[in-house]
Homo-oligomer: A and B are copies of this chain.
Amino acid sequence: MLDEARPLARERWLEIAERAAAGCQAGPRDPKQSRSRRRQLDLLEAATRVFARDGIAKAKMADIATEAGISVSSIYDYYPSKEDLAYEIPIRRLAQFYAEFLAEGRALTTMRERLRLFLRMAAEYAARNPDWARLLYLEIWPSVLIEEARVRSAIDDFGRIVVALVRDGADRGEWSRELDPYQIATILMGSITHMIITWLLYGRPADLAGAAPAMVSQLLRLVDTCGDWTSAA
């Protein structure tokens, strides 16, 4: 049943990560004039700050407009509603995140290293973009209400990539086929996102990006039959 003679056959993770990195076309409006294009970016940045500070529900369009230096009604020339404005933010950044992962992940040789990279990058990306992370992890990710296909899909890609990496690793014989890929993926994603959320809410660990590698090492022991014991810094 073992087939070691299939090193590069169907790399699930590549296919999924490529699609995820490409996503994010067809935004609500594509400004023709350059002033407008600049304003749209200002608007997105202002919205990110206000949403991160007040939460989507409590944030006022008036505050966002002031912060962006435009009028309230102009916002509606860019996005049909407050929610659509909020959703655009993770959609764009997630695609960028997946693209960065793809670029760095290609260069690696094992699924184990790619898994390590992906989880580490998730923490680093959050540490580098705290406002965006607040919005994504504390407001949008868990929300029941989001049927908006583009957001849902961008978020789901996160899980799909982790599952694909775990399965690809099993295919390559980097760990046992007995492991349930969904269970392992749940543990990996859950632990990292929980660490990020704890950091966002309580500021602990103080150095999120610094703590991530140790966490990831600890987690990866789970995919080994019997992990080594050195890395629990």
Contacts of A232 in B (CB 8 A): 178-180, 183
A149 is an interface residue with CB less than 8 A from chain B = no
The answer to whether B204 touches A195 (Cβ under 8 A) is no
A26 is an interface residue with CB less than 8 A from chain B = no
User: From A214, which residue of chain B is reached at the shortest CB distance?
Assistant: B183
Give A192 to B134 CA distance when docked, in angstroms.
21
The answer to whether B229 touches A225 (Cβ under 8 A) is yes
Give A178 to B227 CA distance when docked, in angstroms.
15
Using known A-B contacts A142-B142, A145-B55, A180-B232, determine if residue A187 contacts B191 with beta carbons closer than 8 Å: yes
A215 is an interface residue with CB less than 8 A from chain B = yes
User: From A204, which residue of chain B is reached at the shortest CB distance?
Assistant: B182
User: From A54, which residue of chain B is reached at the shortest CB distance?
Assistant: B145
Contacts of A225 in B (CB 8 A): 229
User: From A199, which residue of chain B is reached at the shortest CB distance?
Assistant: B186
Is chain A's interface secondary structure helix, strand, loop, or mixed overall?
helix
The answer to whether A58 touches B183 (Cβ under 8 A) is no
Copies in the complex: 2
CB distance from A27 to the nearest CB of B (A): 24
Give A205 to B183 CA distance when docked, in angstroms.
9
The answer to whether A195 touches B190 (Cβ under 8 A) is yes
B178, B190, B214, B218: the one within 8 Å of A194 (CB): B190
The answer to whether B186 touches A198 (Cβ under 8 A) is yes
The answer to whether B218 touches A221 (Cβ under 8 A) is no
A107 is an interface residue with CB less than 8 A from chain B = no
Give A42 to B194 CA distance when docked, in angstroms.
34
A219 is an interface residue with CB less than 8 A from chain B = yes
A201 is an interface residue with CB less than 8 A from chain B = yes
7 further interface pairs, Cβ-Cβ under 8 Å (given A56-B57, A180-B233, A189-B194): A55-B144, A139-B143, A144-B201, A183-B218, A218-B222, A226-B227, A226-B229
Q: Measuring CB to CB, which residues of chain A are less than 8 angstroms from any residue of chain B? A: 52, 54-58, 134, 137-139, 141-145, 159, 178-180, 182-183, 186-187, 189-195, 197-198, 200-201, 204-205, 211, 214-215, 218-219, 221-222, 225-227, 229, 232-233
In the complex, 13 of the A-B residue pairs with CB atoms within 8 angstroms, ordered by the A residue number, are A55-B143, A55-B145, A56-B57, A58-B145, A137-B142, A139-B142, A139-B143, A180-B233, A183-B214, A187-B191, A190-B192, A193-B194, A194-B194
